[in-house]
Structure 1
Amino acid sequence: METRIPMTLDPKIPSNQSPRRDSNKSNNRRSFLQTGLATSAVAASSLTSANRLSATETNAVHTSSSTESPSREPIRMALVGCGGRGTGALNDSMTINENVKLVALADLKKEKCERTRKAMSGRHGDKVDVADDKMHEGLDAYKRVLEDPNVDLVLLTTSPGFRPYHISEAVDSGKHVFAEKPTCVDPAGYRICLEAHERAAANGTAIVTGTQYRRQNNYIQAIEQIRSGAIGDIVSATSRYCSNSIWFKNRQPGASELDYQLDNWMHFIWLSGDQITEQAVHNIDAMNWVMGSAPETAYGSGGRFTRPEGSEMWDSMSIDYQYPGDRILSFMCRQIPGTQGDNGSVIYGSEANMHIAAMSGGSKIVDRQGKEVWSAKGSIADAYRQEHKDLIDSIVAGKPIVELKQTAESSLTAVMGRLAAYTGKKVEWDFLTEKSTLDLFPKNLSADDFPPSSGHAIPGKTKLV
């Protein structure tokens, strides 16, 4: 499939052209970081959905900074997407990693770059070295970052609809990548991610993703317990991501349709993928990890009762995912004001049940008599930082982690649930990965003639393509 690169408002920049790093200085620096410093950090193994870091290995990587040479050249980072999640990821990385430096920022609006620079300078001092001409704004701002030979690592945290294209170009530019979840919102983006994963693995560039539960102690230990047979065979599971309302931004006077949708990105499916993809993918990713694969089918329903006019989002979905071995995951996500929240998963085994609470709620095994027989605590704040520690350590060790494929699979699992609800059809994994032609990304991002929303999905009318 041809990789379509999202373009820019600047017609002078070709939409089918990826920036390449041809600078000898840049290539020499990358070689130095990957090989010359390999002995200064603990090696981090490549992670796949079937081979995650154990708790012991995670702790080994975490403590490696104490043995690193203080004189090594810092890894130079750039952030693309200076919103709350992007600034949070940047803060996590600079908090846990000693020898890193922020050198560039990019966002749709320069004032957000300025706020991020000011906030990070106040917290991290000389780890921040962003000149005025290294703060880029506009849809093409990410290109300026990828063309910069002084950038080793780029953090990609814009609205998810752009993620596959940004990742793909970053890999082609020779950058190491931290990519927030989800990594795609449709099958077209999923295929781009698979191709980018393979190129990154071949090129020796890292891709770590914002699926922090994969590095949270109580999740890691829960998976180890399940794999060791502590609950018997997995029979079925439930998972919930139910909360209250979410932000909505009214259209600003004089804003174009494109500006309005970009500013209000959560409410447009080409940008967010709806709640199940943008937010609830955390629990879906954890369940794919538990089950050891993506599901085979999805069937579900949902609706919208409280979303503001103009939003394409639904406010609830209930999906039955069928995994290999005829194991059913009953999944629900919801954002409705005044309702009772529930966030976590239960894995029902033939001998006992595993409860894994979201956030920092911990994990526990309850036997058939209702007695708690095992438990583990976990801190989501530590997990947020650990993913950035593992990323930097793997780069310094010359053994870059590449984990895009597993996160793309989890993202597409969320998409599969959304499409099952939207269309009222049973959706098969093989159909999505091999036959679906769904590509939500607009063919034109011109502010002058960007089309308005066609409205929210209606089962029976919305087609499965």
Structure 2
Amino acid sequence: MSSQSNPNSISPSEKHNSRRNFLQNGIASTAATAATLSVSSRLAADDQLAVHTSESTPSDSREPIRMALIGCGGRGTGALNDSMSINDNVKLVALADLKLQKCENTRRAMSGRHGAKVDVADNKMYEGLDAYKRILEDPDVDLVLLTTSPGFRPYHIAEAVDAGKHVFAEKPTCVDPAGFRICLAAHDRAVANGTAIVTGTQYRRQTNYVQAVEQIRSGAIGDIVSATTRYCSNSIWFKNRQPGMSELDYQLDNWMHFIWLSGDQITEQAVHNIDTLNWIMGSPPETAYGSGGRFTRPETSEMWDSMSIDYQYPGDRILSFMCRQIPRTKGDNGSVIYGTEATMHIAAMSGGSRIVDRKGNEVWSAKGSISDAYRQEHKDLVDSIVTGKPIVELKDTAESSLTAVMGRLAAYTGQRVTWDFVTEKSKLNLFPKNLDADSFPPSSGHAIPGQTPLV
């Protein structure tokens, strides 16, 4: 939803800073009390929870955190619902999307679910590529949820930080090395500004994932030798070109299928599992080498069907990674970490974690709920804002996003790609130099190893 812009073009207003200080000082005691509540006791089915939160909103006269959503698709509306379901002290005040109809749909759905927590006037709904700017310029917005297609994410994050906003940013946070560097700079500015950035890597807040990492770090499986992770599913959505649609509008509408917007499956989707392994290993990998291809994608799609990457982490530990989206194939989603004493299995979604010893006996297990984790990331974010101790976690998510990019580059080019190259030397910047609908160029096609250069 943005063309590239000067990251210093927007500065926080005095009015916004005054409001932020008021919120932190005035609501801190309420947040401290709320933080002692059990998360599980606050969660129920979505409709039941919506009734509970709308009826039990505190009567405290102090102002709630005022939120705005930028990107009113399914993931954005889901993130918004998660935040309003778990947090009593929030209010939705503005919406932005490429299409005004999506803003209206989101307002209607959230009003029906959360009642008085939704207060979006007609003139606080914005459409178009620059719609996000209207929200960042609004001094009454405290927190922005950034859920547009990923290609815009680094630029939106950077401008939101410079506007003095707290941020929830969906994953991935970048699709190329240029975006990664923007994220690192934004992370540092957010720390200096005292503004929060929480990202949509919910597994880092899912109980069975957290417990599995604790088990590994306590030595429960011995030393890590190697690991596998898979994100293999069937197919992904695709939208046919509509009559009279410009090339730009077609690509924006089909954003998953264009690499400048999605980063391909490995970056947009499988980054969850890559982030889990970076977390477990304690750092990004040193190298990536892999391959893949395409067999079933629509002709105009730039995506591949599958990728297989060997990531080498410090200590000569190899992660065998695979992602795939091919109809009528067997799915597999999760990670296995092989240790010198035992093996840790971590299933994706709500599949739980378990340790199996060398004799095949299960010696430890933990359950987890992904829906709880989706909400917990929003509770942690809001709590950090109102207590004046903002969480800033952009760097880790940017590193995981770039790890996915590194694997994609290895597969696309057929070369071994190093972490030093993608962080220090790569000049790759996929974001278009202009987003003019009348002159936007058509796609140059999908990558071909041996022909696609490593830039």
TM-score (normalizing by structure 2): 0.94
Match of 1:21 in 2: 12
Could you tell me how far apart the structure 2 residues matched to 1:176 and 1:360 are? 29
Decide which of 174, 190, 196 is 1:206's aligned counterpart.
196
Shift of 1:114: 0.3
Decide which of 315, 320, 323 is 1:330's aligned counterpart.
320
Could you tell me how far apart the structure 2 residues matched to 1:70 and 1:406 are? 36
How many residue pairs end up in the alignment?
A: 443
Deviation readout 1:174-209 (Å, 9 max, x if unpaired): 000000000000000000000000000000000000
Match of 1:175 in 2: 165
Match of 1:462 in 2: 452
Could you tell me how far apart the structure 2 residues matched to 1:241 and 1:16 are? 34
Could you tell me how far apart the structure 1 residues matched to 2:419 and 2:33 are? 35
Shift of 1:18: 2.6
The answer to whether structure 1 residue 190 and structure 2 residue 180 are counterparts is yes
Decide which of 134, 138, 143 is 2:128's aligned counterpart.
138
Q: Secondary structure at the match of 2:32?
A: coil
The answer to whether structure 1 residue 7 and structure 2 residue 3 are counterparts is yes
Match of 2:402 in 1: 412
Shift of 1:154: 0.2
Match of 1:242 in 2: 232
Residues 53-452 of structure 1: pairs in structure 2 closer than 5 A: 70-452=60-442
Could you tell me how far apart the structure 2 residues matched to 1:58 and 1:216 are? 17
- Aligned CA distance change for structure 1 residues 112 and 60 (closer, same or farther; 3 Å): closer
Shift of 1:21: 3.2
* Consecutive unaligned residues in structure 2, runs of 5 or more: 43-52
Shift of 1:27: 1.8
Deviation readout 1:151-174 (Å, 9 max, x if unpaired): 000000000000000000000000
Could you tell me how far apart the structure 1 residues matched to 2:314 and 2:210 are? 22
Deviation readout 1:350-387 (Å, 9 max, x if unpaired): 00000000000000000000000000000000000000
Could you tell me how far apart the structure 2 residues matched to 1:303 and 1:43 are? 53
CA contact (8 A) 1:236 1:347 kept: yes
Could you tell me how far apart the structure 2 residues matched to 1:87 and 1:62 are? 23
Shift of 1:43: 10
Q: Secondary structure at the match of 2:91?
A: strand
CA contact (8 A) 1:19 1:143 kept: no
Q: Secondary structure at the match of 1:98?
A: coil
Could you tell me how far apart the structure 2 residues matched to 1:203 and 1:433 are? 25
Shift of 1:68: 8.0
Could you tell me how far apart the structure 2 residues matched to 1:160 and 1:401 are? 21
Could you tell me how far apart the structure 1 residues matched to 2:217 and 2:39 are? 22
Shift of 1:72: 2.9
Residue range with higher mean Cα deviation, 179-188 or 26-35: 26-35
- Aligned CA distance change for structure 1 residues 107 and 217 (closer, same or farther; 3 Å): same
Shift of 1:33: 1.3
Q: Aligned AA for 1:225?
A: Q
CA contact (8 A) 1:297 1:323 kept: yes
CA contact (8 A) 2:229 2:320 kept: yes
Q: Secondary structure at the match of 1:411?
A: helix
Q: Aligned AA for 1:301?
A: S
Shift of 1:26: 1.9
- Aligned CA distance change for structure 1 residues 67 and 7 (closer, same or farther; 3 Å): closer
Deviation readout 1:325-365 (Å, 9 max, x if unpaired): 00000000000000000000000000000000000000000
Q: Aligned AA for 1:313?
A: M
Could you tell me how far apart the structure 1 residues matched to 2:33 and 2:316 are? 38
Q: Aligned AA for 1:404?
A: L
Could you tell me how far apart the structure 2 residues matched to 1:246 and 1:75 are? 36
CA contact (8 A) 1:42 1:61 kept: no
CA contact (8 A) 2:8 2:159 kept: no
Q: Secondary structure at the match of 1:42?
A: helix
- Aligned CA distance change for structure 1 residues 246 and 350 (closer, same or farther; 3 Å): same
Could you tell me how far apart the structure 1 residues matched to 2:242 and 2:420 are? 42
Deviation readout 1:406-463 (Å, 9 max, x if unpaired): 0000000000000000000000001110010000000010001000000000000001
CA contact (8 A) 1:344 1:357 kept: yes
CA contact (8 A) 2:344 2:353 kept: yes
CA contact (8 A) 1:61 1:393 kept: no
Could you tell me how far apart the structure 2 residues matched to 1:68 and 1:291 are? 42
CA contact (8 A) 1:208 1:401 kept: yes
Deviation readout 1:280-314 (Å, 9 max, x if unpaired): 00000001001010000000000000001100000
Shift of 1:67: 12
Could you tell me how far apart the structure 2 residues matched to 1:334 and 1:58 are? 40
Q: Aligned AA for 2:22?
A: F
Consecutive aligned runs of 4 or more in structure 1 exceeding 4 Å deviation: 14-17, 56-63, 65-69
Q: Aligned AA for 1:250?
A: N
Shift of 1:57: 9.6
CA contact (8 A) 2:58 2:88 kept: no
CA contact (8 A) 2:8 2:162 kept: no
